[in-house]
Structure 1
Amino acid sequence: MIKFGTGGWRAIIGEEFTKDNVSLLAQGIAQYVKNQVHDGKEKNEVGFVVGYDRRFLSKRAAMWISKIMAANEITAYLIHDIAPTPLIMYTVDCLKLKYGAAVTASHNSYDYNGIKLFAGGGRDASLEVTKEIEKILNGLTLKDIKEIEFEEGINLGKIKKIDPFNDYIDYILQDIDVSKIKERHLKILLDPMYGVAKTCLQTVLISARCSIDVINDRHDPLFGGRLPSPSAETLKKLRDMVVDRKYDLGIATDGDADRLGIIDEMGKFIHPNDILVLLYYYLLAYKGIKGGVVRNIATTHLLDRIAKDYGEVCYEVPVGFKHISQGMEKNGAIIGG
């Protein structure tokens, strides 16, 4: 049975992550999308963004999803190459679509794959949406799956290959004070952990005139035999190289590039909790932006203290990016994690 967790649906490849289950899930999502149209809740173009990472079967699964969307009269916008999850989310928002998905198991071990589902604005799909899709799935069988050939979908214009890379990079650069970064002449070591971050992150940093070296960037579905999740334990090589070769900074990302790990020039691992605290404080104290913050029950409570000092509110939600997204939207928060 397909069940959504805190970060989408994930399963072991060959056991539950199979063509049948991916196709069944795609059909369930397509039916949900069509229901929104029939109920008059969807007024814009009925389209669906599909992206994928470097895991085993990710590209093929993205094609399976695209074929099923096309067969259900939903235009599939298939990102033409491997893509970080934030790029896929950006594309959903940029194209003004209401739905999208990334084929990824994020920071899980190599034997997993999965699907993250996105809603309007590039946000993680809400609990209400995923519960409704699960209900639809309970009534579907393999015989209900609609599918066309990939090339037929291309020829009909129902599958469109897209390349949002340049727009995404420009979108990021316009919100960064590139001149300030250029002044530092930073020497940075990047570790994408065999994932999808290299091209985007390297392009942004080079645009800011940083000197960049990269490790662990080849295609390896086994992720070098380690968990593709940045932590003090998994970033020992990055830490040692930053110190030995005198880099200003080491940056690591997880398998689908929506998690971050930092090593400072002294070799200290900067925990994501600390990064979030620094970012929130920076927005309040240096940028003068007003607003609350959303954290889950496992995130540092130092955020509560900072929010209180600035007359703001820290909102607590359950674990899961979808709860963070909902909490930020509901409360007008400026950051969350």
Structure 2
Amino acid sequence: MSWQDDYIRWNEFEDLEPHLRKQLDEIAENENALEEAFHKPLSFGTGGMRGELGPGTNRMNLYTVRKAAEGLAKYIENQGEEAKQNGLVVAHDSRHMSPEFSLETAKVMGAHGIKTYLFTSLRPTPELSFAVRHLGTAAGVVVTASHNPPEYNGFKVYNEDGGQVPPAQAEEIVELVNAVENELAIDVLEKEELEKQELLKWIDEEVDQAYLEKLQTISLNPEVIEQQANKLKIVFTPLHGTALNPVVNGLEKLGFKQVTVVDEQAKPDPEFSTVASPNPEEHQAFTMAIEYGKKVDADILIGTDPDADRLGVAVKGDDGEYTVLTGNQLGGLMLDYILSNTPYLPENGIMIKTIVTSELGRAVADHYGVETLDTLTGFKFIGEKIREFEQSGKHQFLFGYEESYGYLIRDFARDKDAVQSALMASEMAAYWKSKGKTLFDALEMIYERQGYYLEDLKSLTLKGISGTEQIEGIMNDFRERPLEKVGDISVVAVEDYASSERTHLADGSTDEIDLPKSNVVKFLLEDDCWCCLRPSGTEPKIKFYFGVRGDNRRSAEDRLDMVKNAVMSRVDKLIK
């Protein structure tokens, strides 16, 4: 069926939701807009789906959400009657249509006789992960587009363990979603009927309180918090998202007394009107928090993305100015703090990071005699390993993180948790303040001990059909003509995760990469340097990761610039 056929099918559907009807009529004479909206079904991948809001098969809307929910409902049915009774728990963020899409999910589930637990208002993604485990449901869903622009929304699926669905489960769900032939003809039960049949249960305080109690268990030095409670000054921004109550309540329960919230960014706002992007990875998101920090002379600024699975931290330097730590730096600091303050580290303890996360983490873990495990990018792989170790008893999870500001301290949640991380970062700042040091001082001590590990990330957004083709062309070019030297640093090995093969350039020998296949190419360079290319699975962009190590800061900075310039100059030629 062509995209024109799908458009006709939608256009002739008499019961099309009125707002979508209006939007569809507005683009009726714009063939490019119609093709973008209908040229393919919105991709349902390993973690769910994410896309721009609007009419069409390639957009997030009432009907594509129903299609995703229909596939998930059939997956739950296939697990048996017990899974249907255990049901589904659904949470949502502050975006346009998030509450409506949450209810639509419950309406589809109800038509299959599957019970849904639904939060009455917005909640953080990690609390949803916790809720799956706490309530014992068969699956979970968060309606969120994380830190994407306001025109986006998404549908993220969690398994019975509270983790994002790993590849094996995802493949089955994707197949069932794709098998839904007509998203306009999916059966639903209306809200009143769901409540009458007890197929919809509204939840709030019980889960909130249970999650808050678990948050208190992550503290390693409560006596330090008590000592610094009135001294450490914290500024917090939830960036118009879901983290306000859990972070503020969590900090209060731990004993912190000097917490200032950025008022202008405290209320949920689907337009994220005070920031160019609601992403703590981007330093502009801290502009208001920095203003607040200067007013109250804050020691640490913390910011969470809209669904509260990512945390950014800014720290005041000796010059009185605030600098946002990178995800790699904050992860290294947290890991060092946790390992150095955990009494009796288990012999089978393990730290998990992704293949594009700094090697600083491995160096820190080695220093404390803790093993490091690499996974593919995506916290679902970290969650999957936690479950595997829990079942086998082979390893004890100590910490997991990725460079994109995602961290997990305790495994009562199975996804990255910015609420846990906000509390841990604050305690860590209190600990170092008690020793007369800032987090910058602590980071410098780690660098002096382990070497100067520096990283950077470049993202290239290429929208539409032509953009997809360009991204594919870049990946093909680097595979067909692999780098042999980057600047004046030689390439030692090439890792192609699509073929699960590592090629050693010295002798041409190969060995297998024991990870699921993924469209990623990584170049391992001399002296612990590396670079990596990875198309995003949820956004129209390709990401370029760079990591270097130097004996001092200057040498590391020079190396990082050289590696970035060499790779990106080649990319620029390809897209021109």
TM-score by length of 2: 0.55
Please say if residues 296 and 316 of structure 1, whose CA atoms lie closer than 8 Å, have aligned partners that are also in contact.
yes
The unaligned stretches of length 5 or more in structure 1 are none
- Other-structure match for 2:199: 158
SS of residue in 1 equivalent to 2:94 = coil
The correspondence for 1:227, drawn from 258, 272, 277, is 277
Change (3 A) 1:7 1:243: farther
The correspondence for 1:167, drawn from 210, 216, 219, is 210
SS of residue in 2 equivalent to 1:120 = coil
The correspondence for 2:332, drawn from 240, 264, 277, is 277
The correspondence for 2:251, drawn from 201, 205, 211, is 205
SS of residue in 2 equivalent to 1:151 = helix
Change (3 A) 1:247 1:261: same
SS of residue in 2 equivalent to 1:327 = helix
Letter in 1 for 2:112: N
Matches within 5 A, 1:14-163: 14-15=54-55, 16-37=59-80, 45-140=85-180, 141-142=182-183, 145-163=186-204
- Other-structure match for 2:368: 310
TM-superposed deviation, 1:200: 0.8
Q: Number of residues paired by the alignment?
A: 334
Higher relative contact order (CA 8 A, sep 6+): 1
Deviations 1:83-132 (A, max 9, x none): 01111111111112231011000011111100111112311111222221
The CA RMSD over aligned residues, in Å, is: 2.0
Q: 1:287 and 2:287 equivalent?
A: no
TM-superposed deviation, 1:37: 1.3
Work out the CA distance in 1 between the residues paired with 2:132 and 2:174: 22
Work out the CA distance in 1 between the residues paired with 2:304 and 2:185: 39
TM-superposed deviation, 1:326: 1.8
TM-superposed deviation, 1:44: 8.5
Work out the CA distance in 2 between the residues paired with 1:242 and 1:260: 17
- Other-structure match for 2:388: 330
The correspondence for 2:359, drawn from 292, 295, 301, is 301
Work out the CA distance in 2 between the residues paired with 1:178 and 1:154: 44
User: Based on CA coordinates, which of the two structures has the bigger radius of gyration?
Assistant: 2
TM-superposed deviation, 1:196: 0.8
TM-score by length of 1: 0.92
Deviations 1:123-148 (A, max 9, x none): 11112222211111222123662310
Please say if residues 182 and 210 of structure 1, whose CA atoms lie closer than 8 Å, have aligned partners that are also in contact.
no
SS of residue in 1 equivalent to 2:80 = helix
Work out the CA distance in 2 between the residues paired with 1:111 and 1:144: 26
Identity fraction in percent:
28
Please say if residues 242 and 306 of structure 2, whose CA atoms lie closer than 8 Å, have aligned partners that are also in contact.
yes
- Other-structure match for 1:249: 300
Please say if residues 328 and 334 of structure 1, whose CA atoms lie closer than 8 Å, have aligned partners that are also in contact.
no
Deviations 1:232-282 (A, max 9, x none): 232133224313430122110001000001112331212222222222222
The range that moved more, 201-210 or 252-261, is 201-210
Change (3 A) 1:206 1:312: closer
Please say if residues 354 and 377 of structure 2, whose CA atoms lie closer than 8 Å, have aligned partners that are also in contact.
yes
Deviations 1:131-178 (A, max 9, x none): 211111222123662310111101211100011212211221243354
The unaligned stretches of length 5 or more in structure 2 are 1-40, 390-394, 402-576
TM-superposed deviation, 1:336: 1.4
Deviations 1:182-228 (A, max 9, x none): 32123211111111111110111122242222111123211124211
SS of residue in 2 equivalent to 1:30 = helix
Work out the CA distance in 2 between the residues paired with 1:137 and 1:196: 28
Matches within 5 A, 1:171-182: 171-176=214-219, 177-182=221-226
The range that moved more, 173-182 or 67-76, is 173-182
Deviations 1:3-47 (A, max 9, x none): 345653111011510101000100100001111117xxx668431
Letter in 1 for 2:251: L
SS of residue in 1 equivalent to 2:137 = coil
Please say if residues 108 and 188 of structure 2, whose CA atoms lie closer than 8 Å, have aligned partners that are also in contact.
yes
Letter in 2 for 1:116: K
Letter in 2 for 1:336: G
Q: 1:268 and 2:329 equivalent?
A: no
Work out the CA distance in 1 between the residues paired with 2:128 and 2:138: 13
Work out the CA distance in 1 between the residues paired with 2:336 and 2:148: 30
Change (3 A) 1:241 1:212: same
Work out the CA distance in 2 between the residues paired with 1:43 and 1:58: 25
Work out the CA distance in 2 between the residues paired with 1:43 and 1:25: 18
